[in-house]
Structure 1
Amino acid sequence: MERLPPLNALRAFEVAARHLSVTLAADELCVTPGAVSRKIRELEEFVDTPLFVRGHQQIALTAEGADYFKSISRLFTEVREATSRLGRRSQRQQLKIRAYSTFSTRWLIPRLSDFHDRYPEIEVSLTSSLEEVDFDRDEIDCAIRLGEGTWRGANSYWLVPNVICPVMSPKLPRADAPLNAPEDLGRYTLLHSLARIDDWGDWLRSVGETGIDPLGGATFQISSMAYAAAIRGQGIAMAQLFLIEDELRSGELVKVFDRGLERGRFTYYLLTPSDRPEKPQVTAFREWILARVIGSDDASA
């Protein structure tokens, strides 16, 4: 393998060629002009080619020196730019969050611009999964999960009240099927989410309705799909009210009955690892999200 030229000598040549001045090169490198001249001669001996024409208090590149400078100057520029990018990247902090798709798209993502404005040095990496969180296995810093507030190896922070209620589009056809009581729901298509397949059954039991199939109707993979179908008048969805606040305000969706089911401790929590010091970016996100949600003063579970 051919040897690389002496790198200090190569650096001295690049600076001197750029300035066409040994004195200015010495100033940039914080050495004496004599040291620069010695390094240039060392490089010329290595390549066995004159690189400069020396004049009285001035230098000029030889034809070979000019070609060589043109080639290596590009390399030095790439090294400078790569080093600059690396330095900027080392100053940034990455925050890896895992959350449910519907929670992310309907609640978290619309508010993330505020987090970015407050913490521009933190890069958020947001992923979605239904798998159980394991901070020892998963490469994530925190997660948002639905449960009772107790997870192995995790601190949990209560986020929102989990109230479910039937909702529909005000344009849903219902001329021949009035909706005066829960038993009237049997005349309509119920919209389900596979991620929350028990919601209809839980709500129906809470209002004492046993004559309706809690699993009948149309089923979607995630809740946001069921909400989209409800907005388009395809049926009645069982919604988590905090996730459809915008649609309720705009009138795209309305409550079928003003009878919601509060799930108590079974709600959304922010999870952070309990067996390691909290990263600064996790602290920033935890404080930010708890300040943005309803009931943000609740202590960790």
Structure 2
Amino acid sequence: MLHIPSTSGLRAFEAACRYLSFNQAAEELGVTPGAVSRQIQTLEQYLGKTLFHRHHKRIELTAVGRQYLAEISLPLEKIAAASARLRSETRRNAVSICAYPTFALRWLIPRWADLYEHHPDIDVQLITSLNPADFERDDFDISIQVLPDGTNLTGMRIDKLLEVVTYPVCSPELAKKYSRPEDLHDAVFVHESPRPTDWPRWLAEAGVSNINSSPGLHFESANMALHAAENGLGVAIGIDALVQESIAAGRLVKLFDVDRRSNHSFHIVSSSRKSTRPKLATVREWMLEAAGQPV
């Protein structure tokens, strides 16, 4: 017999980890913040461990919470992918997309309404994962991947979507402290696990060699790191395409006039065998147009 906690508690925990906010997790799940808090408390009671530190206006994962998230993320992703695959068998109009969580939340979803406005006949199924899609196992139609420019993969069509241009970002209030890169010597550096070299590489680009960026706050995802920066906890490295909306809304400020342009970009990857299917081609072309790329 399998002994597993409530799925509602796991969903609440995973959403709260992504946002570092019970309020935003509740908004995504369509419940109240109190319900999210109770579900996570029930999960903590089941496990006999504290998963979050509760502060006045923010929450923070405990070391146990970070370990638990790392261990359950892949199984949850597999459950989501398997469920999506079964559902897709009865939804012939669906186009399935596998994307990085931060890319989905900060670039794809904000543009989703435009896709449906122009193509209401196309159903899109979105699965998020930090790992590249396995087309043989998961049968996705499209995967968004960061790849070296000019990459060729056998049996795959690859279209460059967005360049990866990085620079420091922080809250408007915190930005008042920094006028030049050298001022970061006393900054709280915000790091994300999937991109551990962003800070050293940007500091090298800025010509700053006497600052140790290793200490600071470390998060499991870029979205969590950016939420921390938005809430004034420190300075994060943002990818331009994924922080433009937050900058325009005044939640983040770009620091300095130094950009680091990577030779690894966001690409649309699809099976050559499927790539000419009309609905898949339509979604791919819509994404390229939204990114300002030639179709």
By the TM > 0.5 criterion, same fold? yes
**1:129 corresponds to which residue?**
129
AA partner of residue 118 (structure 2): R
For residue 234 of structure 1, give the secondary structure of its aligned residue in structure 2: coil
**In 2: Cα distance, 1:173 partner to 1:122 partner:** 42
**In 1: Cα distance, 2:207 partner to 2:118 partner:** 47
**2:117 corresponds to which residue?**
117
* Alignment CA distance shift 1:191-1:277 (3 Å): closer
**1:269 corresponds to which residue?**
267
AA partner of residue 134 (structure 1): D
AA partner of residue 279 (structure 2): Q
Q: Which one has a bigger Cα radius of gyration?
A: 1
Per-residue CA distance 1:136-182 (angstroms, 9 max, x = gap)? 222200111111142523211111222100011121286xxx52432
**In 1: Cα distance, 2:201 partner to 2:208 partner:** 10
How far residue 250 of structure 1 moved from its aligned partner, in angstroms, is: 2.5
**In 1: Cα distance, 2:128 partner to 2:214 partner:** 26
**In 1: Cα distance, 2:158 partner to 2:284 partner:** 10
AA partner of residue 282 (structure 2): A
**In 2: Cα distance, 1:197 partner to 1:173 partner:** 23
**1:170 corresponds to which residue?**
172
Matched, 1:231 2:230: yes
Paired residues for 1:1-301 under 5 Å: 92-149=92-149, 150-152=151-153, 153-172=155-174, 178-263=177-262, 265-276=263-274, 278-294=276-292, 296-297=293-294
**1:75 corresponds to which residue?**
none
**1:49 corresponds to which residue?**
none
**In 2: Cα distance, 1:226 partner to 1:275 partner:** 37
**In 1: Cα distance, 2:106 partner to 2:91 partner:** 31
**In 1: Cα distance, 2:192 partner to 2:239 partner:** 11
* Alignment CA distance shift 1:277-1:251 (3 Å): closer
* Alignment CA distance shift 1:138-1:261 (3 Å): same
How far residue 277 of structure 1 moved from its aligned partner, in angstroms, is: 5.5
TM-score using structure 1 length: 0.63
Instruction: Check the 8 A contact 1:141/1:272 in 2, yes or no.
Output: yes
**In 2: Cα distance, 1:167 partner to 1:237 partner:** 5
**In 1: Cα distance, 2:218 partner to 2:275 partner:** 42
**In 1: Cα distance, 2:152 partner to 2:140 partner:** 15
**In 2: Cα distance, 1:222 partner to 1:133 partner:** 17
Per-residue CA distance 1:202-232 (angstroms, 9 max, x = gap)? 1011122222223221011111111111111
AA partner of residue 278 (structure 2): P
Instruction: Check the 8 A contact 1:91/1:121 in 2, yes or no.
Output: no
**In 2: Cα distance, 1:221 partner to 1:274 partner:** 33
Instruction: Check the 8 A contact 1:159/1:270 in 2, yes or no.
Output: yes
TM-score using structure 2 length: 0.65
Instruction: Check the 8 A contact 2:229/2:235 in 1, yes or no.
Output: yes
**In 2: Cα distance, 1:221 partner to 1:255 partner:** 22
**1:62 corresponds to which residue?**
none
**In 1: Cα distance, 2:118 partner to 2:179 partner:** 48
**In 2: Cα distance, 1:181 partner to 1:224 partner:** 25
How far residue 132 of structure 1 moved from its aligned partner, in angstroms, is: 2.8
Which of 216-225 and 275-284 deviates more?
Answer: 275-284
Instruction: Check the 8 A contact 2:143/2:270 in 1, yes or no.
Output: yes
Per-residue CA distance 1:16-56 (angstroms, 9 max, x = gap)? xxxxxxxxxxxxxxxxxxxxxxxxxxxxxxxxxxxxxxxxx
Instruction: Check the 8 A contact 1:163/1:240 in 2, yes or no.
Output: yes
For residue 258 of structure 2, give the secondary structure of its aligned residue in structure 1: coil
Instruction: Check the 8 A contact 2:133/2:143 in 1, yes or no.
Output: yes
